[in-house]
């Protein structure tokens, strides 16, 4: 996992930076004054699990003054979508979001002069779609400010808890070479989340944050070393596990 960017609280609607000191309270006041019609309830796992047609999700989002944005994508009723320049929408289902991680981007004014560090958020969506959570299009400035990445990471991990957050080379290898295993882990995690939400074991607070009434045992992606008959390491084998150390064979957290 990449080092998280500095802790800032940013308005998800207008980008106003409430700062790092007492930012949550300042943001709350900002929302009341600047965006009074924003519904009080934040997006939650319920919005992500909703199974509405895309048209319903879009009209629902358009009827809200506030937009629940992640970069230039809006999340509404189980869908992420953004308007395309030439009409129509780019969209994917929230349940298909499998793996997300921030990517550090160094911007340069000239070939050798580093002007700043920006972040982008990479979303890997099944079956093989990669989405960048950028701000509109337009050169180096289309990356997200670090505070927005921080917001997106935190919020998405609560709203889409079945996805795997953070980068590792093992996760990358599994996503690329053993894709079915990765998807199986996500399916199992999705089943666990659905069951826990339906039974009330997992709830979302007004701020969208998850509250577990009982510990929810989430399957994780693990690997072990595969060996040839002569004992040489011949690559890694991935599997889903609710316990990183299986009896007999050692599986590591990927």
Residues at the contact surface with Zn ion, assessed by CB under 5 A: 11, 13-14, 16, 34
Shortest Å distance, C-beta 38 to Zn ion: 9
Report the alpha-carbon distance of residue 234 to residue 217 in Å, rounded: 31
Q: Which is nearer to Zn ion, 19 or 166 (CB)?
A: 19
Q: Which is nearer to Zn ion, 16 or 167 (CB)?
A: 16
81 three-state secondary structure: strand
Shortest Å distance, C-beta 98 to Zn ion: 31
Shortest Å distance, C-beta 31 to Zn ion: 7
221 CB contacts (<8 Å, ≥6 apart)?
164, 170, 171, 174, 181, 182, 185, 238, 240, 253, 254
Q: Which is nearer to Zn ion, 36 or 248 (CB)?
A: 36
Q: Where are the beta strands (DSSP E) in 85-219?
A: 89-93, 97-108, 114-125, 129-132, 164-165, 202-204, 210-212
- By beta-carbon distance, which residue lies closest to Zn ion? 11
Shortest Å distance, C-beta 19 to Zn ion: 13
Q: Which token pair is 146?
A: 């670090």
Q: Which is nearer to Zn ion, 31 or 97 (CB)?
A: 31
């Amino acid at each position: 996992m990449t080092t998280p960017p500095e802790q800032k609280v940013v308005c998800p609607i207008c980008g106003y930076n409430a700062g790092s000191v007492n930012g949550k309270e300042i943001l709350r006041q900002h929302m009341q004054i600047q965006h009074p019609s924003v519904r009080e309830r934040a997006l939650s796992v319920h919005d992500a699990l909703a199974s509405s047609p895309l048209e319903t999700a879009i009209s629902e989002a358009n009827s809200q003054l506030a937009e629940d944005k992640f970069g230039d994508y809006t999340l509404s009723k189980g869908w992420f979508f953004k308007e395309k320049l030439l009409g129509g929408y780019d969209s994917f289902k929230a349940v298909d979001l499998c793996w997300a991680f921030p990517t550090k981007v160094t911007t340069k004014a000239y070939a050798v002069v580093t002007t700043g560090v920006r972040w982008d958020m990479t979303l890997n969506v099944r079956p093989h779609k990669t989405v960048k959570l950028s701000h509109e299009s337009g050169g180096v400035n289309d990356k997200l400010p670090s505070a927005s990445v921080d917001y997106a990471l935190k919020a998405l991990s609560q709203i889409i808890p079945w996805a795997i957050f953070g980068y590792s080379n093992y996760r990358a290898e599994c996503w690329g070479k053993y894709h079915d295993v990765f998807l199986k882990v996500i399916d199992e995690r999705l089943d666990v989340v659905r069951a826990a939400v339906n039974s009330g074991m997992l709830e979302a607070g007004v701020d969208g944050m998850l509250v577990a009434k009982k510990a929810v045992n989430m399957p994780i992606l693990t690997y072990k070393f595969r060996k040839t008959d002569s004992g040489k390491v011949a690559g890694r084998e991935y599997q889903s596990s609710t316990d990183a150390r299986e009896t007999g064979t050692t599986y590591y957290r990927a």
